[in-house]
Structure 1
Amino acid sequence: MQQAEDFRAESQALATLLEDLPEADLHRETLFKGWTIDHVLGHLHLFNVAAETSLQGAVAFGAFIGPVVKEMQAGKSILECQFPWLDRLSGRALFEAWRAGAESCADAFATADPKARVKWVGPDMSALSSITARQMETWAHGQEVFDLLGVERVEQDRIRNIAHLGVSTYGWTFINRKEAVPEPAPYVELTGPSGAIWTWNEAQADNCLRGSAVEFAQVVTQVRNIADTSLGTTGPTATRWMEIAQCFAGPAETPPVKGQRHKA
């Protein structure tokens, strides 16, 4: 699957940023809920291994994720749930484990059947959706690391995978907040890093969204408020969507307020 290679490239981009970073800097806090870079790597590592394990079947995945789910059900945060599994792995050792794990996960999905159904913490999904979600999460959590270090990420057209996920979860955004899903879904026209134009849904002059694919991905992954982007929306449906957009699973989350997430 090409998406497996896109996930690999996304992981490598983050690894390149961090490979020469001093150990102490891995424990600096980002603008995301006070998570450190170390916390980010631990989170990505846990769920990369979980995704790879899901390819081995329901029994293997259940055995792996069971203790994590038990921690969640006990009321612990998603961050706290990773600590028992990491077993004090942190710093440079965690970085190396995450990097190796990402390569292993990419290798496993590269030869998987894209249509194969795999178990997850939420609903089952296809292997294709699973590895796309890994790219999305790596890119989104990577954003807080690039922001903290004051580095502008060099984006590539693989961002289209994340944009597609953002469009595909239009209905989920509203359902997750127990709101009626407005129909029809807005027309979406985005410009990729290469200048390529990508479109989704039927053209509608009075219900549409246009702009940068990267900025759209930033909004649907909630790493930026739409007010901090140049995205343009027309009509109440597109406007409401961008106010609450959420392309990731889990309880409804409130997007950052204007100016809350930014490059140092």
Structure 2
Amino acid sequence: MPETVGGVPGELLDDLVAEYDSLRALVVPGTDLRAATPAEGWDVGAGVAHLAGCDRLAADALAHPNEFERARPLTDEGLASLLDAHITVRRALSVGALRADWAEQFTGLITALRLSQRGQKVPWFGPPMSPATLTTARVMEYWAHGQDIADGLDITPEATDRVRHVCHLGFATFGFSFAHRGLPVPDAVPRLELRLPSGVAWSRGGADTRTDAAISGDALEFALVVTQRRNHRDTSLVAHGDVARQWLEIAQCFAGPPAPGRPATTG
């Protein structure tokens, strides 16, 4: 049985730390925090500030769930205001000060995850989740915002098999992507038949014989689509069936209001 640290598989916790380390290696002293990213209205500093603020929120949700639940916003507008405040309060920080604050918040999150318990339900912006699922969500956030930051700095980030966590979350939020937009949720989730950066095959689904729907291709591209960092038309992903094609149009594996996604750069 895989080692578990608190309520989180050790390998998953290690992968979150690795995502943090890889992004931190890009945001070094001298980095232009005002460099624009592909996320409209967000610069590099905003991306880092958002991650630091959400690390603090996640640590609070783990350590003080009742207080977190009482204080959390109940509307999308309230959540947007809270997340904007994380950026605003850190706006004037130098690179060094922002990195120090970021390190403090991330260390607090890792400590809280190590102290979590299996079976614990952690309140968040949506249904409560396990510490392991919260960790997966933080990996996704670090990976997705890391893509924006790397793009803003004109750096190509290293592709690793850690992207499988983002793909897993994308698969798990299939129903959410439809219901969140007031659309009927299809009876069966399309299969995923993806290739990780290492070349290893990675798949999910396929046991339900009611559907022939599937998405196949590159895992990195699928992760970019479900985090809405790339339009599926700009990828080589192949969708088999109407449900799979519709999913690629609306996929969203993060909380918040339904997002429009990135426009396609190709026809």
Q: Residue type of the partner of 2:20?
A: S
Give the one of 247, 255, 259 matched to 1:249: 255
Q: Residue type of the partner of 1:251?
A: P
Q: Which segment is superposed worse, 130-139 or 73-82?
A: 73-82
SS at match of 1:194: coil
Q: Residue type of the partner of 2:55?
A: N
Change (3 A) 1:76 1:10: closer
Task: Report whether the alignment pairs 1:36 with 2:43.
Answer: yes
2:141 corresponds to: 137
Task: Report whether the alignment pairs 1:52 with 2:52.
Answer: no
Alignment deviations for residues 201-260 of structure 1 (CA, whole Å, 9 cap, x no partner): 116784110011111110000000011111111111100000110011111111111129
User: Would you say the 8 A contact 1:165–1:247 is kept in 2?
Assistant: yes
Stretches of structure 2 that go unaligned for 5 or more consecutive residues are 1-8
1:5 corresponds to: 14
| Count of residue pairs the alignment pairs up | 255
Give the one of 192, 209, 213 matched to 2:215: 209
Stretches of structure 1 that go unaligned for 5 or more consecutive residues are none
Distance 1:83 1:31 in 2: 17
Alignment deviations for residues 75-108 of structure 1 (CA, whole Å, 9 cap, x no partner): 9645533256548545331122113322332243
Distance 1:85 1:149 in 2: 23
User: Would you say the 8 A contact 1:146–1:152 is kept in 2?
Assistant: yes
SS at match of 1:81: helix
2:195 corresponds to: 191
1:109 corresponds to: 113
Change (3 A) 1:18 1:78: same
Change (3 A) 1:59 1:111: closer
Runs of 4 or more consecutive aligned structure 1 residues displaced over 6 Å after TM superposition: none
What TM-score, normalized by structure 2, do the two folds share? 0.86
Give the one of 119, 128, 140 matched to 2:132: 128
SS at match of 1:172: helix
What TM-score, normalized by structure 1, do the two folds share? 0.87
Percent of aligned positions that are identical: 35
User: Would you say the 8 A contact 1:222–1:255 is kept in 2?
Assistant: yes
Distance 2:222 2:27 in 1: 25
SS at match of 1:124: strand
Distance 1:60 1:39 in 2: 26
